[in-house]
Amino acid sequence: MATARSTNDLKFGQGKSLFAITILVLLFLHIPILILIFYSFNDSRFASHWGGFSLKWYYKIIDDDSLWLAVRNTIQVAIVSTIISTILGTLAAIGLHKFNFKFKDFFLNILYLPIIIPEVVMGLSMLILFVLFAIPLGLMTVTIAHITFSISFVVLIVLARLQSFDMTLEEAGADLGATQWQIFWKITFPNISSGIYAGALLALTLSIDDFLISFFTTGPGSTTLPLKIYAMIKFGITPEINAVSTILLISTTLILYFVGYFMNKGKKEGSAFLEI
């Protein structure tokens, strides 16, 4: 009797040269980031000279008021846009999942457009709208833009979670006399909450990270952190950017670590991130 071989007995794809390529590609992806972290502690202004360990660039950015204002703006935009896009996205996902109606495919397909459309076009078309209707450019227009590009991501993640939600539970709730509101908060929401949190987290990261669409929809004085970083790059203030990058990297890693820990503790729903 032939015994079943383990899945990769023949060691396909595990050759030495493939291993070497894998290591090289991972180095290619990570070395630029590691270099920035390394040089953020460099006393010298130039990347090519190691002037000894120093925290002076960190002190410098702590004193930079415009940077702190940018951080505050970023957080404000991110929180408001995350809340609104999560609510709108969840509503759309539930509506699309629960009901069958004419042109449903059309409504589903519209959601993919903001994801595939070039950011330049999306940002500039919104700029046209704001200018045409004389809406003053500033944090509000940036927030509106962030909500617009986040909604689709939230809908798709929540829809994925709804797929594994047993809709008959809602009917059971209705049969037992629960109101629409009770059904949502006591049955639907607890069951799909992990998807909603995942969608909200993605909306939050997209907002914090966004440069290009903010670039086109912002007005004077309403700088977000990526816009500030862009200005620093353009003016060539190298060591400060290194320090900002390092702080950003550490904070995102910490936030995502805690969020991941928190979500794994609740329900195992990390796969939603890989699906998109």
The residue within the footprint of other proteins, chosen from 22, 163, 164, 182 (CB under 8 A), is 22
Q: Using the minimum distance from each CB to other proteins, give the nearer residue, 197 or 244.
A: 244
CA angle, residues 157, 160, 165, in degrees to nearest 5? 125
Please give the residues from 36 up to 75 whose contact with other proteins meets the rule CB under 8 A.
Answer: 36, 39, 46-48
| Site mask for other proteins (CB under 8 A), range 77-116, x = bound | -----------xx-xx-xxx-xx-x-----x--x--xx-x
Token pair 């408001």 in the structure block, residue: 80
CA atoms within 13 A on the CB side of 112: 5
The residue within the footprint of other proteins, chosen from 55, 79, 125, 163 (CB under 8 A), is 125
Please give the residues from 170 up to 199 whose contact with other proteins meets the rule CB under 8 A.
Answer: none
Q: Please tell me the distance from the alpha carbon of residue 74 to that of residue 77, in angstroms, as a whole number.
A: 5
Q: What are phi and psi of 262, to 5 degrees?
A: -65, -40
Segment near other proteins (CB under 8 A), from 54-62, 65-73, 148-156, 165-173? 148-156
The residue within the footprint of other proteins, chosen from 174, 248, 259, 263 (CB under 8 A), is 248
Least distance between other proteins and beta carbon 119 (Å) = 6
Helix, strand, coil share of the chain (percent; to 5) = 75, 0, 25
- DSSP state for residue 165 in the 8-state scheme: S
